[in-house]
A and B are shown apart, each in its own frame.
Chain A
Amino acid sequence: SAVISQKPSRDICQRGTSLTIQCQVDSQVTMMFWYRQQPGQSLTLIATANQGSEATYESGFVIDKFPISRPNLTFSTLTVSNMSPEDSSIYLCSVEDPWSGELFFGEGSRLTVL
């Protein structure tokens, strides 16, 4: 199994600022995913981040708002840009075990935008 660490675990930010969330995995993985979970809602996939290529964004999410970096096989960042109160959510990083197909999640980063 993979162990995923996310930073920060929570933050309170001002409108109009940007926040970068870091995701560190204890093993090399090909596919990393970023999800958003708004209060009381299910998880929504933001993008898929593969090392060495541009992230692939889901409908409704754009690179200018959620730029993603994937510099190596164990690390990724998601930036939430020009934040508004509507961006208040839990942001989760996840990785796939290529052998079992199982998806592992970090504990999430709880973002509150004032």
Chain B
Amino acid sequence: DAKTTQPPSMDCAEGRAANLPCNHSTISGNEYVYWYRQIHSQGPQYIIHGLKNNETNEMASLIITEDRKSSTLILPHATLRDTAVYYCIVRVYTGNQFYFGTGTSLTVIP
């Protein structure tokens, strides 16, 4: 599976949009981009995933560049409860392992 690169940490003001970037320049055509987050001492939680089209759900939006070499997770109105480590993962849709990178530690500031 392709490797991902994320900034180690970011801050965001409460109520503002949090934009978390991920680089996956070696992604293959059949690999999806998944985002998970881990709030302290809990198991990771699924956020969203996509192949090449932008995706939106009740938690977030995922913007994938046209060349698919990078993506951005957008939390539209960050709250203090969004403070967590966010992981970007690329993998073939099903039947393969998930390998976690180092992630981005997002701190939402009051």
Contact = CB atoms under 8 A, between A and B. Distances in A.
Interface of A: 4, 31, 33, 35, 42-45, 48, 58, 92, 94, 96, 98, 101-108
Contact of B36 (A44, A101, A103, A106): A103
Given A42-B103, A104-B46, 14 more contacts: A33-B98, A35-B100, A42-B85, A48-B97, A96-B95, A101-B34, A101-B49, A101-B93, A103-B44, A103-B98, A105-B43, A105-B44, A107-B42, A107-B43
B43 A92 contact: yes
Nearest to B48: A102
Given A101-B32, A102-B49, A108-B43, A42 B94 contact: no
B97 A45 contact: yes
Contacts, number: 54
A45 B102 CA distance: 13
B101 interface: yes
Contact of B98 (A4, A45, A108): A45
A108 B32 CA distance: 26
18 contacts: A33-B98, A35-B100, A42-B85, A42-B100, A42-B101, A42-B102, A45-B97, A94-B98, A96-B94, A98-B94, A101-B32, A101-B93, A101-B94, A102-B46, A103-B98, A107-B42, A108-B41, A108-B43
Residue picked from A42, A44, A94, most chain B C-beta under 10 Å: A42
Q: Is the interface of B mostly helix, strand, loop or mixed?
A: loop
Interface SS of A by simple majority? strand
| 10 tightest A-B CB contacts, nearest first | A105-B43, A43-B100, A101-B94, A101-B93, A102-B46, A42-B100, A105-B44, A107-B43, A42-B102, A103-B98
